[in-house]
Amino acid sequence: MWEILLVNVLLSITGFFVILNVVPKFKDMFLKAKLSGIDMNKSDKPEIPEATGVITSCIFLIVMFIFIPVPFSKHWFNKEWGFPHQEFVQFVAALLSICCMVLLGFADDVLNLKWRHKLLLPTVASLPLLMVYYTNFNSTTIIIPKPLRSFFGSEMDLNVLYYVYMGMLAVFCTNAINIYAGINGLEVGQSIVIAASLILFNIFELNGDCWTNHLFSLYFMIPFFFTCLALHQLNKYPASVFVGDTFCYFSGMTVAVVAILGHFSKTALLFFIPQIVNFIFSLPQLFHILPCPRHRLPRLNPKTGLLDPSVFQFKEMKLNTVSRLVLNIYKMFGLVRVEHVSEDADISQSTNCTLINFVLKFMGPTHEKTLAIYLLVLQVLCSVAAFAIRYPLASLFYDR
């Protein structure tokens, strides 16, 4: 086992250096192809290559393709053991789903798809994976947490709902990373922390009964971690490349794939606490209960060089009852700051409902680099909390 992991780590480190070397060489090509975006939080508004996540995802896939024979090598030399076809299909289907997601994510970067398509893409890409889950495991029974056992019994077979849940997990992981973005290094930084947390969790679980699932997850998570680490060098403040939706989809799908096939989706979700909070906080804007501008990323104050929360404007009179209720609740809990812009024209403005803007509202104007550090420290603290929930507190809810 350890020698296989060693090969995996060595291949991943090679991938790390290839990315650092190759991505800068593609910059001009991306700019010529108009695959670029304006870095909105810089005073000179530079145009930066976007969707470079497609190069790093391809390098990740190449690392994985080269690695495929390694875990199965012992079966080639010892024919008596029989080839583990199921494991092999699982491996290949996982890569197929990630590969589909990269393709669809790149399509999004090139074509700027609508939100409804963004929700559909991960569902489509997760189909090969769900098919393999069906043929290999088809286990759709969940263990009910102790406090709820008097209502639902100790186990419940969710049947087709379990597949819906897994499809939704892929949609959530991909989009949650994509909407928790907008300052240099955040998309990749959060992926690094999530990958590192999952690697730690998998290593802890290598001594448990389900060690093969966690070993399988490590085969994917280690190269993923090094891929993100290399991309972060280029995307951190001041960014020389943007990662694009391609990366966000690739990242979310890779985590969803290992969580589904490794049977630890609940634990994986624990490492998404900031993303879950940001998603729930964003819901009124995502569902257009409150106005949602095209970009909700913080805005640069050119005078101070610091970031302020971005805002959306609205007419108080035009808000319906639900919108007014939501805004008042958010205001009451100090989640948003609402101000009158013009008394005569009845125009007000509120800070956008994202975790990034909330942190800015809480901390006051902050430099982009410092804000990225704060948000990544928050991600790390949430991972520490996730481990506390997963290990000491889990016994309150489950037998093991």
Give the CA distances from residue 108 to residues 48, 54, 185, 186, 196, in Å, rounded to whole numbers and listed in that order: 17, 12, 20, 20, 28
Among 57, 97, 184, 383, which residue interacts with ligand UD1 (rule: CB under 6 A)?
A: 184
Number of residues that bind ligand UD1 (CB under 6 A): 19
Whose Cβ is closer to Mg ion: residue 217's or residue 246's? 246
- 8 sits near ligand UD1 (criterion: CB under 6 A): no
- Within positions 19 to 78, which residues make up the interface with ligand UD1, using CB under 6 A? 37-41, 50
Identify what 184 binds: Mg ion, ligand UD1, none; CB under 5 to 8 Å per kind. ligand UD1
Among 126, 174, 178, 383, which residue interacts with ligand UD1 (rule: CB under 6 A)?
A: 178
Output the six-digit token pair for 392.
């000491």
Output the six-digit token pair for 94.
């996982």
Identify what 183 binds: ligand UD1, Mg ion, none; CB under 5 to 8 Å per kind. ligand UD1
The pairing of beta strand 47-49 with beta strand 36-38: antiparallel
> In the complex, what is the shortest distance from the CB of residue 356 to Mg ion, in angstroms, rounded to a whole number?
13
- 236 sits near ligand UD1 (criterion: CB under 6 A): no
> In the complex, what is the shortest distance from the CB of residue 161 to ligand UD1, in angstroms, rounded to a whole number?
27
230: CB partners within 8 A, 6+ apart: 15, 16, 17, 19, 20, 23, 56
- 281 sits near ligand UD1 (criterion: CB under 6 A): no
Checking phi first, is residue 45 left (phi over 0); if not, alpha (psi -120 to 50) or beta?
Answer: left
Checking phi first, is residue 381 left (phi over 0); if not, alpha (psi -120 to 50) or beta?
Answer: alpha
User: Residue with the closest Cβ to ligand UD1?
Assistant: 37
- 39 sits near Mg ion (criterion: CB under 5 A): no
- 183 sits near ligand UD1 (criterion: CB under 6 A): yes
110: CB partners within 8 A, 6+ apart: 35, 51
* 1-9, 175-183, 190-198, 251-259 -> range binding ligand UD1 (CB under 6 A): 175-183
Burial 225-252 (b: 16+ CB within 10 A, else e): bbbbbbbbebbbbebbbbbbbbbbbbbb
- Within positions 90 to 149, which residues make up the interface with ligand UD1, using CB under 6 A? none
> In the complex, what is the shortest distance from the CB of residue 157 to ligand UD1, in angstroms, rounded to a whole number?
36
Identify what 50 binds: ligand UD1, Mg ion, none; CB under 5 to 8 Å per kind. ligand UD1
> How many Å from the N-terminal Cα to the C-terminal Cα in the chain?
25
Number of residues that bind Mg ion (CB under 5 A): 2
Among 50, 108, 205, 245, which residue interacts with Mg ion (rule: CB under 5 A)?
A: 245
The pairing of beta strand 306-308 with beta strand 338-342: unpaired
- 182 sits near ligand UD1 (criterion: CB under 6 A): yes
Residue type present at position 78: N
State the Cα–Cα distance between residues 93 and 317, nearest whole angstrom: 53
State the Cα–Cα distance between residues 337 and 59, nearest whole angstrom: 43
Whose Cβ is closer to ligand UD1: residue 215's or residue 311's? 311
> In the complex, what is the shortest distance from the CB of residue 192 to ligand UD1, in angstroms, rounded to a whole number?
15
Output the six-digit token pair for 95.
């890569």
* 133-141, 180-188, 211-219, 299-307 -> range binding ligand UD1 (CB under 6 A): 180-188
> In the complex, what is the shortest distance from the CB of residue 38 to ligand UD1, in angstroms, rounded to a whole number?
5
- 242 sits near ligand UD1 (criterion: CB under 6 A): yes
State the Cα–Cα distance between residues 278 and 7, nearest whole angstrom: 37
CB distance 356 to 184 below 8 Å:
no
- 181 sits near ligand UD1 (criterion: CB under 6 A): yes
State the Cα–Cα distance between residues 224 and 246, nearest whole angstrom: 14
State the Cα–Cα distance between residues 354 and 309, nearest whole angstrom: 9
Identify what 297 binds: Mg ion, ligand UD1, none; CB under 5 to 8 Å per kind. ligand UD1
> In the complex, what is the shortest distance from the CB of residue 307 to ligand UD1, in angstroms, rounded to a whole number?
11
Whose Cβ is closer to ligand UD1: residue 101's or residue 261's? 101
- 245 sits near ligand UD1 (criterion: CB under 6 A): yes
CB distance 214 to 205 below 8 Å:
yes
- Name the residues that contact ligand UD1, by CB under 6 A: 37-41, 50, 178-179, 181-184, 239, 242, 245, 282, 295-297
The contact set with Mg ion (CB under 5 A) reads 178, 245
